[in-house]
């Protein structure tokens, strides 16, 4: 960085460095100028931007002189501006001398308001932002009404038909039994453990952990007026993610351990279970994905020699936090979940022989209803995704975390309602493998998020080259997988409640 002293102006240009352009340097600078590249620097956490150069009459030029204008109030830096000058042609063998001028001046602006000039109020508080929230809210009302209709009318009628009095004539009972079909017929199989129980339990635990992380980070950002807005200090948002991840490990262990334990009701059955492996999967599931993607991106960044690499010391610190804080919390949560939260009382007894599943109609086929279940949840968030993507990839300061919390709550409710409808159609097709289907249906918005990321990349950005492409899709893949795991857990929790409620009120002879 530059060596600049507070309040000390340097009105005359100070040469920072000189360089004779080689053929390779010329090629890189020409590419940067032709592509409209700009750079970003930070001065007391205030960002400043500058263009690499500009093209004139078919020749590319590079800026060699920069002037920083720094405004201060007392001992606080309030505002930083930079202007570029000194155009020099980009030619092989040409010597460039880069210089910097710093001018300090006093201002009456307060330190508290120094970030206001970076906040794009017209963009983030546009009328369409409010309109999208209203549309999503109306969608919530519609879906909640649809679920209520299923619970109050359809299921009530089914209960009356299924819970017949014992004094009904045998011929009528036999006729109703032959005609009867639907979700009631799978009462002896609906509470079977899902296939790959260990993997499913680990996914549920990871999903709960992501829910806690996202909720905690958004609430932390909303509380910005108390502790300072997250955009005022670089890295504060990432730090909050790391802290929330570490502390939420106990939630992941508790939820996965409790869910796995509830299918082993006796000590003998539990002795043969592999709960330790479930705990291990829960501990490594989320870090494995993040580390795998970031390792590839870090390797690419090192190859290109960019500043986007993660320092080794930072990697060592995060690994230490994971080993000595996160893992013990996950183990403690698993033990607590097994002994406290793993005592489930299923409303119906599970038959010893699984019931055959008939061929479903098109509306009960999981391959059809699972992708369909994600359409409405994605529709409730895609406007907000545009604002989030634009703030991240176009270097805007995202500050409307109240909007984000509203959209997040709407996403949760819409996902839950959509998954309940999915499971109802699935059970009506006499398919009792609802656990994985409910998770997949809830997770399907993540797939649409990635499709939207593809659209945004090709239609809304000008990114080119391996480095930018890999970084974009690497981060978007992690975001999409996080949305899938989180929404899948939302969907499963709602479906689990729905199944327990409807079968608790069924009279079984």
Residue 38 lies inside a defined structural domain of this protein: yes
Quick check: helix, strand or coil at residue 318?
Answer: helix
pLDDT tens digits, 405-452: 999 999 999 999 999 999 999 998 888 899 999 999 999 999 999 999
Summarize the confidence of residues 263-277 as an average pLDDT: 68
Is residue 1 one of the residues assigned to a domain?
no
User: By three-state DSSP, how is residue 27 classified?
Assistant: helix
DSSP code, position 338: I
Last residue of a domain, one of 118, 141, 163: 118
Q: Is residue 141 part of a domain?
A: no
Pair (89, 199) in one structural domain: no
Is a pLDDT exceeding 70 seen at residue 174? no
What's the mean pLDDT in 179-207? 86
CB 186, CB 432: distance < 8 Å: yes
Co-location of 314 and 438 in the same domain? yes
For residues 332-355, give the mean pLDDT: 82
3-state SS class at 132: helix
Is 249:326 a contact under the CB 8 Å cutoff? yes
Same domain, 259 and 393: yes
The whole-number pLDDT of residue 400 equals 85
User: In this predicted structure, what is the pLDDT of residue 160?
Assistant: 67
Please give the distance of CA 507 from its chain centroid, rounded to a whole number: 42
Q: Are strands 59-73 and 95-106 parallel, antiparallel or unpaired?
A: parallel
- Please give the Cα distance from 369 to 488 (Å, whole number): 14
CA distance 174 to 506: 18
Q: Out of 29-33, 137-141, 214-218, 465-469, which region has the weakest mean confidence (pLDDT)?
A: 137-141
**pLDDT (average), residues 47-69:** 91
Q: What is the reported pLDDT for 155?
A: 67
Once rounded to an integer, what is the mean pLDDT over residues 48-72?
Answer: 91
pLDDT of amino acid 332: 96
**Buried-state track 233-257, b at ≥16 Cβ within 10 A, e below 16:** eeebeeebebbbbbbbbbbbbbbbb
User: Average per-residue pLDDT in the chain?
Assistant: 87
Residues linked to residue 88 through DSSP beta bridges, in sequence order:
62
Tell me the mean pLDDT in the region 64-81.
Answer: 93
Residue 490 structure tokens: 């939302």
Closest CA to 201 of 282, 264, 267, 274: 282
Q: Do 388 and 478 fall within a single domain?
A: yes
- Largest distance between two CA atoms of the chain: 106
Overall number of domains in the chain: 2
Cα separation, 437 vs 419, in Å, equals 9
Percent of the chain predicted with pLDDT > 70: 90
Say how far residue 348 (Cα) sits from the centre of its chain: 36
The verdict on residue 153 lying in a domain is no
Of the residues 118, 153, 174, the one at which a domain ends: 118
Question: Does any domain span residue 310?
Answer: yes
Q: Do 64 and 205 fall into the same domain?
A: no
Please report whether residue 392 resides in a domain: yes
Interval 206-211 mean pLDDT: 98
Q: Are residues 113 and 196 in the same domain?
A: no
Mean pLDDT to the nearest integer, 446-468: 93
Per-residue confidence band for 166, with pLDDT thresholds at 50, 70 and 90: very low
Same domain, yes or no: 105 and 208:
no
Cβ neighbors of 1 (< 8 A, separation 6 or more) are none
Q: Which of 31, 347, 40, 42 is nearest to 184 (CA)?
A: 347
Specify the pLDDT at position 212. 97
Question: Predicted confidence band at 307 (pLDDT cuts at 50, 70, 90)?
Answer: confident
CA 419, CA 369: separation in Å to the nearest integer? 10
pLDDT tier for residue 342 given thresholds of 50, 70 and 90: low
Could you give phi then psi for residue 433, rounded to 5 degrees? Answer: -85, 65
Per-residue model confidence (pLDDT) at position 351: 82
Of 75, 93, 118, the domain-final residue: 118
Read off the pLDDT of each residue in 251-260 and give the average, rounded to a whole number. 94
d(CA 33, CA 181): 70
Q: Who wins on pLDDT, 258 or 230?
A: 258
Residue 129 belongs to some domain of the structure: no
Nearest to 469 by CA among 456, 483, 481: 456
**What is the SS3 assignment for 85?**
strand
- What tokens does 254 get? 């508790």
Q: Where are the extended beta strands (E) located within 74-211?
A: 76-89, 95-106
Residues 292 and 373 in one domain: yes
Same structural domain for residues 324 and 469?
A: yes
Confidence of residue 106 (pLDDT cuts 50, 70, 90): very high
Same domain, 273 and 380: yes
Label residue 471 by pLDDT band (50, 70, 90). Answer: very high
Q: Would you state the pLDDT for residue 21?
A: 92
Residue 55 belongs to domain spanning: 10-118
Q: Does residue 370 register a pLDDT over 70? A: yes
Distance CA 116, CA 6 (A): 23
DSSP assignment of 458-488 equals HHH----HHHHHHHHHHHHHHHHHHHHHHHH
Residue 178: what pLDDT? 41
193, 81: one domain = no
Would you put residue 430 in left (φ > 0), alpha (ψ -120 to 50) or beta?
Answer: left
What contacts 503, CB < 8 A, 6 or more positions away? 187, 190, 191, 347, 348
Confidence check: pLDDT of 177 > 60: no
Angle at the Cα of 145 from the Cα atoms of 141 and 148, rounded to 5 degrees? 140
pLDDT of residue 266: 57
Under the banding of pLDDT at 50, 70 and 90, the label for residue 348 is: confident
Q: How far is CA 197 from CA 192, 262, 435, in A?
A: 10, 11, 10
The whole-angstrom separation of Cα 12 and Cα 9 is 9
Domain match, 384 and 247 both: yes
CB burial of residue 394 (10 Å; 0-12, 13-18, 19+):
exposed
pLDDT at 169 over 70: no
* Percent of the chain whose predicted confidence (pLDDT) is above 90: 49
Q: How far apart are CA 487 and CA 439, in angstroms?
A: 8
Q: How far is 377 from 416, CA to CA, in rounded Å?
A: 9
pLDDT for position 179: 44
Cα–Cα distance for residue pair 84/368, rounded to 1 Å: 57
More confident residue, 124 or 408: 408
Residue 274 banded pLDDT, cuts 50, 70, 90: confident
Residues 6 or more apart whose Cβ sits within 8 Å of residue 243: none
How many angstroms separate the CA atoms of 282 and 338, rounded? 14
Specify the 3-state DSSP secondary structure of 28. Answer: helix
Residue 360 domain-assigned? yes
Query: For 129-163, how does the pLDDT look when each residue is reduced to its tens digit (9 = 90+)?
Result: 788 788 888 888 888 888 888 777 766 766 666 66
How does DSSP classify residue 347?
S
- Picking from 79, 82, 78, 87, the residue whose alpha carbon sits closest to that of residue 100 is 82
Q: Picking from 21-25, 154-158, 178-182, 410-414, which range would have the lowest pLDDT averaged per residue?
A: 178-182
> Which token pair is 91?
């030619």
CA 351 to chain centre: 39
């Amino acid at each position: 960085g530059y060596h600049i002293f507070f309040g000390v102006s340097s009105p005359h240009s100070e040469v920072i460095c000189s360089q004779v352009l080689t053929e390779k340097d010329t090629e890189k600078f020409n590419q940067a100028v032709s592509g409209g590249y700009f750079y970003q620097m930070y001065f007391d956490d205030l960002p400043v931007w500058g263009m690499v150069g500009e093209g004139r009459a078919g020749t590319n030029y590079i800026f060699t002189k920069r002037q920083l204008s720094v405004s201060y109030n007392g001992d606080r830096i309030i505002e930083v501006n930079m202007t570029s000058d000194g155009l020099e042609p980009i030619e092989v063998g040409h010597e460039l001398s880069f210089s910097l001028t710093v001018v300090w001046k006093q201002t009456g602006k307060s330190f508290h308001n120094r970030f206001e000039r970076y906040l794009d109020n017209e963009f983030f508080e546009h009328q369409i932002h409010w309109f999208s929230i209203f549309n999503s809210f109306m969608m919530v009302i519609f879906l909640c009404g649809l679920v209520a209709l299923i619970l109050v009318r359809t299921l009530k009628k089914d209960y009356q038909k299924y819970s017949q009095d014992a004094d009904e004539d045998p011929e009528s009972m036999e006729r109703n039994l032959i005609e009867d079909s639907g979700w009631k017929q799978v009462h002896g199989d609906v509470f079977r453990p899902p296939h790959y129980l260990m993997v499913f339990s680990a996914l549920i635990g990871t999903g709960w952990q992501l829910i806690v992380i996202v909720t905690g980070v958004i609430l932390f950002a909303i509380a910005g007026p108390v502790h300072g807005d997250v955009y005022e200090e670089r890295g504060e948002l990432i730090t909050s993610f790391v802290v929330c991840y570490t502390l939420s490990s106990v939630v992941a262990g508790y939820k996965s351990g409790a869910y796995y334990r509830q299918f082993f009701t006796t000590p003998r059955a539990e002795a043969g279970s592999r709960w330790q492996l479930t705990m291990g999967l829960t501990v490594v599931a989320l870090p494995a994905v993040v580390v795998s993607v970031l390792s590839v991106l870090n390797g690419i960044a090192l190859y290109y020699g960019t500043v986007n690499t993660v320092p080794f010391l930072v990697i060592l610190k995060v690994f230490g936090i994971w080993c000595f804080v996160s893992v013990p919390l996950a183990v403690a949560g698993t033990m607590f979940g097994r002994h406290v939260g793993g005592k489930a009382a299923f409303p119906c007894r599970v038959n010893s022989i699984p019931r055959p599943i008939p061929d479903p109609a098109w509306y009960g086929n999981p391959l059809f209803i699972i992708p369909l279940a994600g359409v409405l949840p994605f529709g409730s968030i895609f406007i907000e995704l545009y604002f989030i993507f634009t703030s991240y990839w176009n270097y805007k300061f995202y500050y409307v975390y109240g909007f984000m919390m509203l959209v997040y709550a709407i996403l949760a409710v819409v996902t839950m309602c959509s998954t309940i409808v999915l499971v109802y159609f699935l059970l009506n097709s006499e398919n009792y493998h609802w656990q994985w289907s409910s998770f997949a249906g809830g997770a399907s918005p993540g797939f649409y998020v990635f499709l939207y990321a593809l659209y945004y990349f090709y239609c809304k950005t000008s990114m080119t080259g391996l480095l930018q492409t890999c970084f974009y899709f690497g981060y978007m893949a992690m975001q999409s997988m996080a949305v899938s795991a989180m929404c899948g857990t939302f969907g499963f929790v709602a479906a689990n409640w729905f199944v327990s409620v409807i079968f608790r009120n069924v009279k079984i002879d």
